[in-house]
A = this chain, B = another copy of it.
Amino acid sequence: MSVNPDDDGSDRAAPEISGAEHAVMEALWQRSPLTAQEVCEEVCGPRGWSLATVKTLLSRLVVKQAVETEPDGKRFLYSPLMERSDYVGTESRRLVDRLFGGRAAPLFAHLAQSEALTEDDIVEIEALLKELKS
């Protein structure tokens, strides 16, 4: 890893992924590598995009070093470079920081109050809590 001498060592703080780009990332996180065509098959329908749009988003993501390309004959295969868990992590943290002063409990309280918690959620969380305490 880190074979690339261009890498300036600054641990480039997770490139910012925009909303539309995120949809593309999700497709790649689900299955990869994919061609632009295949990504489009995943996301163009739901979002009403054209293939051209997906191509643009993919290039932007390549520039941001969020996905990498691998030549396959005359076309490219795209794979995520960023881990989904990293993305999810920074996004969650950002929200908790901005809205709940960095504390997770108020977020939880809010979800509870707004009835965003299902029975299953509660059971699952209880299990997690038990595990945390061990």
Residues of B near A116 (CB, < 8 A) are 92-93, 96, 104
Residues of B near A22 (CB, < 8 A) are 98
Determine if B98 and A95 form an interchain contact, defined as CB atoms under 8 angstroms apart: no
Q: Shortest Cβ distance from A9 into chain B, in angstroms?
A: 24
What is the count of identical protomers in the complex?
2
By DSSP majority rule, is chain A's interface helix, strand, loop, or mixed?
A: helix
- Within the complex, which residue of B87, B95, B103 is in contact with A121, where a contact is CB–CB below 8 Å? B103
Q: Tell me the residues in window 51-95 of chain A with beta carbons closer than 8 Å to chain B beta carbons.
A: 85, 87-89, 91-93, 95
Residues of B near A95 (CB, < 8 A) are 91-92, 95
> In the complex, what distance in Å separates the CA atom of A105 from the CA atom of B107?
12
